[in-house]
């Protein structure tokens, strides 16, 4: 009788541990913040390095955002040496200006975009989004190739680095 009770208790303990382990796994598989999501992508290594060089990672992990993150292939399209120059400490403000032009300070899903609407970015300039059917087009020529959901943002991977307009005042 005692052996049966011990077996039953052991069985119940195993079930409870298994259920708690499953719950912990389910909680860990939820969306993570922007930087952890970007770091998990094989296509955003340079974007992550640029965000870290600009000290924007902590900011992007707070608040709600729509981020148009250039893929590694997009960064490779920049003129030779431009990325290296941008990553130098003396060019940090220019890097911040470029990266914050890729960020809208509100979380927008595909369903939220309106055809031809412009959205104000964190750096104060406007991005024009064209979307009726896939693909999403940014500033009439930059294509969204994929997307990732983070706990506080939607990251749209783009095929080109979006350079802010030069010489125009911020709106």
Same domain, 25 and 36: no
Of the ranges 16-20, 49-53, 163-167, which one carries the lowest mean pLDDT score? 16-20
- Tell whether the model's pLDDT for residue 29 goes beyond 50: no
Distance CA 171, CA 141 (A): 21
Please indicate, yes or no, if residue 166 is contained in any of the structural domains.
no
Same domain, 92 and 140: yes
pLDDT for the residue numbered 38: 93
pLDDT in tens, 108-126: 888 887 777 889 999 999 9
pLDDT for the residue numbered 109: 85
Please indicate, yes or no, if residue 25 is contained in any of the structural domains.
yes
Same domain, 58 and 20: no
């Amino acid at each position: 009788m005692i052996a049966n009770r011990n077996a039953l208790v052991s069985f119940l303990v195993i079930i409870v541990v298994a259920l708690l382990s499953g719950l912990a796994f389910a909680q860990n598989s939820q969306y993570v913040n922007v930087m952890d999501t970007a770091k998990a992508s094989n296509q955003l290594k340079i974007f992550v390095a640029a965000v870290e060089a600009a000290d924007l990672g902590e900011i992007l992990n707070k608040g709600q955002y729509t981020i148009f993150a250039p893929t590694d292939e997009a960064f490779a399209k920049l003129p030779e040496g431009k990325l290296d120059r941008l990553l130098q400490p003396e060019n940090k403000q220019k890097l911040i200006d470029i990266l914050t032009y890729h960020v809208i300070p509100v979380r927008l899903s595909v369903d939220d975009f309106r055809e031809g609407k412009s959205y104000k970015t964190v750096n104060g300039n406007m991005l024009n989004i064209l979307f009726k059917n896939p693909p999403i087009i940014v500033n009439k020529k930059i294509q969204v190739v994929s997307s990732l959901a983070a706990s506080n943002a939607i990251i749209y991977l783009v095929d080109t680095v979006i350079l802010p307009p030069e010489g125009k005042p911020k709106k």
